Amino acid sequence: MPYIPSLLMAAMASVAVSSTSLEASADVRSTSQGKETLIVYLSRTGNTEAVAEMIQELVGGQMVPLELETPYPEDYETIVAQVDRENDTGYLPPLATTFPDIQAYDTVFLGFPTWDMQLPPPMKSFLSQYDMTGKTVIPFNTNGGYGVGSSFKDVSDLATGTRIREGFSVRGGLERGGIYLAIEGDRREEVRSQVRDWLKRIGLL
């Protein structure tokens, strides 16, 4: 779990366990369950991952965390500066996660936090690397309270030739303010009911 500041590791033990047990390579041919729906997500402090888990519990699908060849720094200020630079230069960080059989999926949920008020660079890498033509793409987001920024529009700009469904966004943590995993306990139940309403609204439940 290279993304997660070591100070958080103890508090986030359950997140760490679930993520490390996943392979970096998503070979859908090896699974028989939910092979038509992919839930690919980026999560540093577990909030977006919590929403991904809810989606999987409600509609099924294969959850795959996006990981980088060179993980982001743990320090918050350092990652903010790096992400700023990447966005300014259009740098697409190479992914460690691979999707050998992306064409097996017809529905792709894309989960990401708002970073720098836009789509995080690793998700831009994913959408630039893989052809989503013909698929249904469904974005979901957590953020520090400032909303999705341009991230949903960034998805529609990059995922050309797809059918993009209404996205879901909810307040997650605010690392800058020392709030890491916020979607837990009662808040988790509250968010789960919002996720359920959204999935019903878009006809998936």
Ligand X SMILES: Cc1cc2nc3c(=O)[nH]c(=O)nc-3n(C[C@H](O)[C@H](O)[C@H](O)COP(=O)(O)O)c2cc1C
Give contact residues for ligand X (rule: CB under 6 A): 43-49, 79-80, 83, 113-117, 142-146, 149, 172-175
Distance between CA atoms of residues 102 and 133, nearest Å = 11
Distance between CA atoms of residues 54 and 135, nearest Å = 21
In the bound state with ligand X, the residue whose beta carbon lies nearer, of 131 and 157, is 157
In the bound state with ligand X, the residue whose beta carbon lies nearer, of 61 and 121, is 121
Strands 37-41, 62-65: pairing kind: parallel
- Chain residue whose CB lies nearest ligand X: 172
* Residue 53 beta carbon to ligand X: minimum distance, rounded to whole angstroms: 11
* Residue 107 beta carbon to ligand X: minimum distance, rounded to whole angstroms: 21
* Residue 8 beta carbon to ligand X: minimum distance, rounded to whole angstroms: 10
In the bound state with ligand X, the residue whose beta carbon lies nearer, of 178 and 203, is 178
In the bound state with ligand X, the residue whose beta carbon lies nearer, of 46 and 139, is 46
Q: E strands of 27-160, at which residues? A: 37-41, 62-65, 107-113, 136-143
72, 82, 81, 21: which is closest to 45 by C-alpha?
Answer: 72
Q: Which two tokens stand for residue 13?
A: 């033990």
